[in-house]
Amino acid sequence: MDDELHHLDTELRAIQLYANEAPRLQPIRLGIDKMFLRAHQWASTSAPAPIARPPSPPRRAAIFPLPKPMEGDRQTSPLGGLFEFPELIPHVLEWFEHPRDLAVLCRVSKGFNGVARKKLYQNIWVRPWEENCHFKLVLLLETLSNNAELCKLVRKLDVRFFPLATRGGERYTLDDQVERAFSYMTNLEHLVWTRDKSLTPALVERMSELPGLRSLEISGHSYRYYDAKLLGSMPHLEDLRVMMPDSAFRDVLVDVVKRLDARRTGGLRGLGIICRTSPLIDDAMLKAMAPHLRQLRRLTLWGCTRVTKAGVFALLQESENLEELSIDALPHSGLLDMSQAPEMPFLHTYSLSISAPHRTPLLLTTDDLPLLPPAPHLTTLLLTLSGSRAHLPYGGVPHLVSQADWSQIARLSLINLVVSAPQLDSILHASPGMEELYISVNGKTTLFDSESLRCTGSGASEASEARARQGATGATGGKVESGTTGLRILHVNAPEKWGPTPDDLAELAKGIETLREVGSGNRVYEVHRREGGEVELSRWSRTWTPGYFQVWRG
């Protein structure tokens, strides 16, 4: 075969063409041999070469024509009239909350810049889980320290981490920038600075001089870092929340409370002491502080192992106007039974963490459930079983319902207390005004078997569909209502393997028309409703913390 191709190639190379117009006949080589060889190579290729296509043009945003100029002497566009009414700008910017959107709006015009910048710097934070969070914090502090006019716009500053690895001159520069920025924040009202070992004496001194500071959440590790006595000199401090106080802070806490109470404006309205497991705070301290906390509205005591019923009751006896109470019920504290507590006529929020009993298997009884304090206006109940997970016992719902007016309950959280479908129906039947519900279940079937949630979608069992059509009777003995009327937030805790999927959550949202936020585990979704009843879920995009992470406690 190769000999035949070589012979054919020789014959094709010999073909020539003579031009008649040339003065002398010159042979013109046609190159047919090369054309034939190229065709033979193409034919012998096993796979055809890909077709080369031109690149697609980049997609461009649609450009809408502007209105024609106004007729007459004033040849301007009608769109320019928007900026003639500056009072409309705040209403336009009211719908923007994300910092990146506000940063873009600052470049629209001077009018937009003034309002958007004020909103952009009003509440400042950098989340620890954000990408390059340390770099962002350093740039933020540098910007604030060099722009006093921006510092005056800050109303709330939230710092929960700090680049402690910074050493030498960089650390001194960073500390100087922080102190200089605080000296400019004359309008700061709320401050969160909880990173351990990040505070300095000069910084806390700057904090104590802030004229408008009303709320402070601070790291309690003060030994060799700052003088905790300075907190007692803050002129307008109303809420004090201490994270992990050490012995140095403990020694001056009573004196700080006394000094704050001696002000013309009165003492604290909110006090929170957060520990893991610490014996530093005891009943004697609570009794010493009680006479100076008569104006207290909010009280939080977590992880204080030496606090018992005696100390808490002494404090509640003085704080007659208490509105929010959050405590841990350790086994020896006696705080599981709050039925004999002083009456709290203004209490609307009660949060209790229950220690799991030491028994195997862990089966709860009604004796393990709390007795609620006398609070006729209770609207929020948050119960957490710490350290374990167990089923809410049979009769647990009637046990809780009988202690309060559940027609007023609008926010309920049962974390690590697993409920069944009949118990869920009983809860919703007893509280028709429920708006926020955070529950723990064994699987998504609990949700689809609940007639009160009207879950008859693709995930519902045939039995539950039949009960829904026939109007089944709930665990309370009465006929279950045809659905929840005002539920806005529903968050479900379940094992990942058996928990609801995003499609299941969308099915739930489709059946509950008032639902605006839904979640499972650590996933939180916003509910968007389209025309025709279509429901779409999107991951949480708001700048504030979802409700689940405000009630969850480990």
**Cα 228 vs. chain centroid, distance in angstroms?**
31
Q: How far apart are CA 294 and CA 268, in angstroms?
A: 8
Q: Output the pLDDT for position 136.
A: 87
User: The tokens of 228 are what?
Assistant: 């905790």
CB 536 within 8 A of CB 543: no
CA–CA distance, 13 with 18 (Å, rounded to integer):
15
Q: Which of 465, 394, 403, 454 is nearest to 428 (CA)?
A: 454
DSSP string, 63-119: -PPPPPPPSSS----GGGGGGG-GGGHHHHHTT--SHHHHHHHTTT-HHHHHHHHHH
Class of residue 148 by CB neighbours under 10 A (exposed 0-12, middle 13-18, buried 19+): middle
Residue 126's pLDDT is: 81
Closest C-alpha among 507, 484, 486, 490 to residue 546: 490
Alpha-carbon distance of 448 to 457, in angstroms, equals 8
pTM: 0.78
Cα dihedral 538, 544, 546, 552 sign: positive
Distance, in Å, from the CA atom of 543 to the CA atom of 522, rounded to the nearest integer, reads 16
Q: Give residue 534's pLDDT.
A: 86
Neighbours of 552 (CB within 10 A): 17
Q: How far is the C-alpha of 378 from the C-alpha of 400, rounded, in Å? A: 13
Predicted pLDDT of residue 111: 74
Domains of the chain, residue spans: 84-120, 351-554
Low-confidence ranges of the chain (pLDDT < 50): 19, 21-23, 25, 46, 455-484, 554
CA distance linking residue 512 with residue 510, whole number of Å: 6
User: In degrees rounded to 5, what are phi and psi of residue 528?
Assistant: -115, 130
Q: How large is the angle between the packed helices 32-44 and 2-13, nearest 10 degrees?
A: 150
Which one, of 505, 471, 503, lies nearest residue 491 by Cα?
505
DSSP helix/strand/coil, 425: helix
